[in-house]
Structure 1
């Protein structure tokens, strides 16, 4: 019975004892695999070593790492001695590291590389709680994680009985992790999740996963994030081999190398895949290009359960053989499952991937809900385009009078670390967690998200604007990489657009325009007019008071590294508004005179 995270080790021991590739990573051009036997041994050895160092239940340990097998060894070792794992993004600022270290007072820190070590090194003397730093890569003068295995082998007999005693005393309701949310304003919040929070979510969502121990998946979303972490636990529960991508830049190559059967993703990555496919298709010779566009147009009309009739299905069969089979090949050729979360997935992409024979299961949740609240399944009738699917078994959902989605169940967090006041603001006396998202139920069983409660704003004329809906529509254009709709307490909404500069380069080449730099091309009147046409396409479907009246192009590419996006690629609205404050002032100083 899996009631605590480390019970997954028993699942391996009982169900998958001979698995040779429980985990894999690529190093020096070769895939290195780790077996079930190694996983079980390393977790125990690290636990012994950490007990020897004096760590006890309730202590905190930070990891700052890319996705790799070693992360799991440490994660399980901490879980089974009751030490709280605090995984952090490798991409956040030194200032954020300083705040989190001060806030959670860790005893140890694990980092994956010399780059990350030297990022936190200046902070170490300011935080006396830190006893040691270990690294996953070998770095001079810093302890390597293998040292813990050596200590564990020497002292295993001393701590073996102690470890079993500690494991027996750990309750499902005990804190297993503190996950600091990136947030869009202010300092990060430490979300306390229990073993029960995670295991309830793993068991309920695993029932919807069609893969088994004969399959393998590629992992590339940050494993410190609750979404990818829970999916990794889900894979482990079902004995699925987990291969870790080298980096976000190598995903395409890694997909073709290992030919996985599935992966978790976010909408922005699927949008990028689609944009690349479309760019390649539009560059084909005339006849092939015509066939390609025919298949895409056909795919965008796709309906579930053969609802379009036999003639459509006949044409789709041809399209899959001639065109969509190549999409499968680009993803390795074996994809049976993709789950998408973190933001809204464009319905047209959802239809298109399903038409291509690549099911995308969109789901919904938050760090505070461990994370899944609802998710579409892999087949009709448990999937509906434009929704995030049926509510997970064991989870309750209700829609408040103002449209906010409330959730209750075993997946709801214990609270925010050292912040009971904030906890009480989001979890009411009846145990309902207030998500901050606006939504509704469709056909009494499918949850549909319409916007973020805190992101909806009013113009000075009292018109409510749901920016995400407009932004997602704008991003369907190949010209637009990112967009933020503004206009709170103003007469009308406007938009700041970060163009897709790679697409613009190709466009300029076709139109015989000089592309000198992003800064220069956004000043080009022809480009401004062309991108405004894309805005007008969105305006067609908006009520008159909600139409975008003006736009401005910016030369910056918005990324998590540069600070405009969260690690899960969501807009940091306050950061963007502060960054472009002068541009926004100019927009309204000029427009308000009209």
Structure 2
């Protein structure tokens, strides 16, 4: 465990993990003889626990050859289920959208019409007869290709490890590819809550109802506390750290959240990632980052501004979409560095950020940003193996860019 700090050894007992496996039985599809594709690291508790779940339920596990072959492996294996992290889901979505942009004429219009319908999709709310008919048509003409690309046999995708954009969950679910987002930590074996396969136990924008035998309470400062048979034995050879994090059986998760309708858990941010501006106002970066990533021109983002007068951001463009936009706007440069310093490109991103600022209160609005030329990755050290951004590493590595924002 240690996306946000020094890695720690988490001691999980047989009972811890088994309790989590058994509690997940009622959460996932009640289908017999399923096939699963596995590609997340097996040394992470999320994939480890779900592998035990597969073994326990007689689900056949197929291992992807590598992260680069997932697309081919999906078509080959035709899985009923797989677990993923949001970053990989974003990449799948970006590929689909890039293909849609390459279409022309009626096909392109139909693609974006279907996509537009999907962005308005709701669960557990009346949708109206006309909308339902339109969506059924979109599923027949357009989204059937999406399902084919994922093996054409998916019952659901389970997402964890980091916050997933609500817009992605909404769109994929409308396309008859339900995404069940869950929440947990290594210290909780890992699942605390998950959106269920049954629609009445799902809510967009939340991480679902709690699993059986797990309790949650929200501390006065908003921190999520968890109690149950899934809570770890402790940190390996770190008794002081253990007693700091587990008090009276309650594990202090370090995440800020709330209960919606007394049923669904919603995560708003990591306690450690909240920061104060020099004006003394608290800012939660995660919701701002997730909103910005809804743009097809933004690949990755980190919000900065601790101890500063205003909030800024480091943005990495989605270069495939940016290059297409540049061509359409008469820009001949194609190198990443040339694009991010082009005045027309900078003006476009300034307008883009402004359109998103209206969703945030005055303190949270991004006043200045820097565009960066290369994607953050596991290989270059800015991301963990489960594709979460290492905030501290990015802040240190791109200190010059942050300094320019506040110069």
TM-score, reference length from structure 1: 0.67
Matched, 1:468 2:291: no
Aligned residues of 1:217 and 1:243 also touching (Cα < 8 A) = yes
Aligned residues of 1:227 and 1:371 also touching (Cα < 8 A) = yes
Matched, 1:310 2:129: yes
> Secondary structure, in 3 states, of the residue corresponding to 1:271?
helix
Structure 1 match to 2:265: 447
RMSD (Å), alpha carbons = 1.3
Gaps of 5+ in 2: none
The one-character-per-residue Cα deviations of 1:310-336 (angstroms, maximum 9, x if unpaired) are 222111111111111111001010000
Structure 2 match to 1:414: 233
Matched, 1:383 2:202: yes
Structure 2 match to 1:518: 336
Matched, 1:433 2:251: yes
Gaps of 5+ in 1: 1-180, 590-594
Task: State the shift of 1:437 in Å.
Answer: 0.5
> Secondary structure, in 3 states, of the residue corresponding to 1:574?
helix
**Distance change in 2, residues 1:230/1:219 (3 Å):** same
For residue 138 of structure 2, the aligned residue among 311, 319, 339 is 319
The one-character-per-residue Cα deviations of 1:63-114 (angstroms, maximum 9, x if unpaired) are xxxxxxxxxxxxxxxxxxxxxxxxxxxxxxxxxxxxxxxxxxxxxxxxxxxx
Matched, 1:551 2:369: yes
Task: State the shift of 1:213 in Å.
Answer: 4.2
Map 1:68-107 to 2 at 5 A: none
For residue 372 of structure 1, the aligned residue among 167, 186, 191 is 191
For residue 159 of structure 2, the aligned residue among 334, 340, 353 is 340
Map 1:197-236 to 2 at 5 A: 197-236=16-55
Structure 2 match to 1:423: 242
Aligned residues of 1:486 and 1:493 also touching (Cα < 8 A) = yes
Measure, in 1, the Cα distance between the counterparts of 2:351 and 2:42: 39
> Secondary structure, in 3 states, of the residue corresponding to 1:569?
coil
Task: State the shift of 1:182 in Å.
Answer: 4.0
Give the number of equivalent residue pairs: 407
Task: State the shift of 1:380 in Å.
Answer: 2.0
Measure, in 2, the Cα distance between the counterparts of 1:372 and 1:475: 26
The one-character-per-residue Cα deviations of 1:530-568 (angstroms, maximum 9, x if unpaired) are 222221222011111221000001122101121111222
> Secondary structure, in 3 states, of the residue corresponding to 2:74?
helix
Which segment is superposed worse, 192-201 or 574-583?
A: 574-583
> Secondary structure, in 3 states, of the residue corresponding to 1:270?
helix
Measure, in 2, the Cα distance between the counterparts of 1:270 and 1:394: 30
Structure 1 match to 2:4: 184
Map 1:533-544 to 2 at 5 A: 533-544=351-362
Matched, 1:568 2:358: no
The one-character-per-residue Cα deviations of 1:172-225 (angstroms, maximum 9, x if unpaired) are xxxxxxxxx243333x11111000110000011122221544220100111111
Aligned residues of 1:451 and 1:469 also touching (Cα < 8 A) = yes
Aligned residues of 1:493 and 1:549 also touching (Cα < 8 A) = yes
Aligned residues of 1:306 and 1:313 also touching (Cα < 8 A) = no
TM-score, reference length from structure 2: 0.97
Name the larger-Rg structure: 1
Aligned residues of 2:283 and 2:363 also touching (Cα < 8 A) = no
Structure 1 match to 2:350: 532
Measure, in 1, the Cα distance between the counterparts of 2:320 and 2:372: 15
> Secondary structure, in 3 states, of the residue corresponding to 1:189?
coil
Measure, in 1, the Cα distance between the counterparts of 2:4 and 2:225: 21
Measure, in 1, the Cα distance between the counterparts of 2:157 and 2:383: 23
Aligned residues of 2:3 and 2:388 also touching (Cα < 8 A) = no
Aligned residues of 2:376 and 2:382 also touching (Cα < 8 A) = yes
Measure, in 2, the Cα distance between the counterparts of 1:559 and 1:213: 37
Which segment is superposed worse, 480-489 or 202-211?
A: 202-211
For residue 292 of structure 1, the aligned residue among 99, 107, 111 is 111
Structure 2 match to 1:68: none
